[in-house]
Amino acid sequence: MADAKAKLNNVDSILTIPTAASCKLVEAHVENTLEKDEHHDEHDHHDEHKDHDDHKGHDHHDDHKGHDHEGHDHHDDHKGHDDHEHHDEHKGHDHDHDHDHDHDHDHDHDHDHDHHDGHGEFSIQYQFSCEDVAKVSQIDTQWFTHFPATEKVSVNLLTDSAQSATELTSGSTTIKF
C-alpha cells in the first residue's frame, strides 16, 4: 500500500502533461478504501471503549462528580441519554454525538466498512497551475502501467473555462480536452 501511495503522490509517474503548458502541481490528495484512516484507528467500533477514559484534548466530561455544570445548561439533566444504542458498553465514556460541546472533533461515520475483501478504490485529486493551459489538448496517463489490475479510472476534469467527465481503461489511457 505504501508503494502505491508513493507512486500516486509522484504525479509525474502517473500523468504526462505537455511541457509547453508549463504546468506545476499545486496539490495532490490521495485516499483509498483499503486501509482505515487514522481517525478510525483511534475510535474503531465504539463498543471497545468501555475501559477507555483517556481522551486528552476532548471535553467529554467522563467524571461528573465535583464538576461545576453552571453555564452548561444542556448538561443539567443527564436523563434521556440512552438513545445511543450503539454505545451500550460505554461505561465511563460519554461520546456526545449530538450535544453542543465546545470541541472541534467531528466524527464522520459515512465510511463503508465492507471493503476488506482485497478490492478497493483510490480517490486522487491533482491540482495544477498552468502558465499556458491552451497548450494542453490532452493528458496521457500511465495509471494502467503501474496498476494493471485496474478495470477503469473515472476522471473529472475541471478548468477555469470547462468541466468534463470521462472513463479511462487499459485500452484508452488519454484524457482529451
- pLDDT for 1 equals 83
Q: Which domain holds residue 143?
A: 1-34+122-176
pTM of the model: 0.53
Amino acid in position 101 = H
**pLDDT one-digit tens code per residue, 37-77:** 544 433 334 444 444 444 444 444 444 444 444 444 444 44
**Dihedral angle at the C-alpha atoms of 142, 1, 157, 25, nearest 10 degrees?**
-80
- pLDDT for 132 equals 94
Residues of the chain under the 70 pLDDT cut: 36-118
- pLDDT for 65 equals 47
Residues 6+ apart with CB under 8 A from 57: 103, 105
- pLDDT for 135 equals 94
* Domain-located, residue 171: yes
Q: Bridge-partner residues for 127, per DSSP? A: 27
* Domain-located, residue 128: yes
E strands, 108-159, are: 122-130, 138-141, 153-158
* Domain-located, residue 127: yes
Q: How many domains does the chain have?
A: 1
